[in-house]
Amino acid sequence: MPNISASSDAQTVITTFETSPGTCQDLLDALQDAYASFISKQPGFIAAGLHVNDAQTRIANYSQWQKREDFQAMLRSDEMRQRNRRISELCRTFEPVLYDVAATF
């Protein structure tokens, strides 16, 4: 389970995907498959969540990793590079951004 805490050493990654109502479910399916069969099994993975807006034009992904290097290694793997090519076809843009938790309430 995610632990959102400013005192945590975990690396937070928030990725936003811009998509369309016609491809939103396909993109969500591809992301769920990536997490279930590959990403969640990678070293350093802690947890993740996928969020879809009402208009089905954006998907937000929140994930936590033990270390920045764990996330980067997963992204650089042949498996994820192949999956990201397919994901790119299903959205206009996507951008993973690494964050540190500054405060929680």
pTM above 0.75, yes or no: yes
CATH numbers and ranges of domains, the chain: 13-99 (3.30.70.100)
φ/ψ of residue 68, rounded to 5: -55, -40
Residues in CB range of 40: below 8 A, 6 or more apart: 48
- Among candidate residues 59, 49, 4, 70, the one with its CA nearest the CA of residue 27: 59
Residue-level pLDDT, tens digit, the chain, 105 residues: 667 778 788 999 999 999 999 999 999 999 999 999 999 999 999 999 999 999 999 999 999 999 999 999 999 999 999 999 999 999 999 999 999 989 988
